[in-house]
Amino acid sequence: MSSLAPMEGADSLAKKDGNAVPRHVAIIMDGNGRWAEQRGLPRAAGHKAGAEAVRRALQAAADAGVEVLTIYAFSSENWRRSDEEISDLTALMRFYLERELKTLEKERVRLKLIGDYSAFGGELVGRLERAVERTAGNTRLTLVIALNYGSRAEIAGAARRLAEKVVAGEMLPSDIDEKAIESELQTKEFPPLDLLIRTSGEVRLSNFLLWQAAYAELLFLDVLWPDFDEKTFEGALERYAARQRRFGGR
């Protein structure tokens, strides 16, 4: 990740309206494979180009004053891909952890993880957890990486933990409400999700932040993820700022 230098135009967007900039943005990063295919390149090249797009999105989010950026890096369904592609993805993850950790620390970016990332094995899990620990005190922006994440499994896990509390006599069934469920979700420490972006022209959520997206603004872009840049992100924020959020009230 290059140094998070100010992006022209971002400050004016943030100051234009106190509600113009979403506190929490999530991205379904789709289109790496198609990007590579269009260029006659292996899928690994698409994933590498996609990793560079993450750097640009992080740059733009920090410049605009976004508090939390959550990216869907590896879904629980991605294990259905070929062994070669999974190996490429994990190798790329390891490479960027090594290369970018110092920059995250320098630029005050906190790293957090959601999902059952233990499935990636002890060596990579150790690297991930050390990166989380080393950046824990950073406050400029929180980068949340969803690894081996599935929203249905997350909600089921929350329900299971609440049921265990009922059985243990720690709460009554009548105590289980939306607030109780949210308190058991992996995103409980983050602001509510304001904007969810999906690239590549696909129009679905793919088991990503289903509960959290209940009142988020959804934005589906035709751009393939490796082509996502600061200007694309700024355009997404402008479209978000132009919307009226009613939360079902009118």
d(CA 231, CA 24): 18
79 has binding-site annotation: yes
63 has binding-site annotation: no
35 has binding-site annotation: yes
81 has binding-site annotation: yes
Cross-strand partners of 69: 25, 143
- Would residue 88 show up in a list of annotated catalytic residues for this protein? no
Catalytic member of 30, 63, 88, 194: 30
34 has binding-site annotation: yes
198 has binding-site annotation: yes
87 has binding-site annotation: no
- Would residue 30 show up in a list of annotated catalytic residues for this protein? yes
225 has binding-site annotation: no
107 has binding-site annotation: no
77 has binding-site annotation: yes
d(CA 176, CA 194): 25
206 has binding-site annotation: yes
Catalytic member of 11, 17, 63, 78: 78
Cross-strand partners of 149: 75
80 has binding-site annotation: no
Residue 12, Cβ neighbours under 10 Å: how many? 9
Q: Which residues are catalytic?
A: 30, 78
Residues annotated in a binding site for Mg(2+): 30, 217
Residues annotated in a binding site for substrate: 31-35, 43, 47, 75-77, 79, 81, 198, 204-206
Residues annotated in a binding site: 30-35, 43, 47, 75-77, 79, 81, 198, 204-206, 217
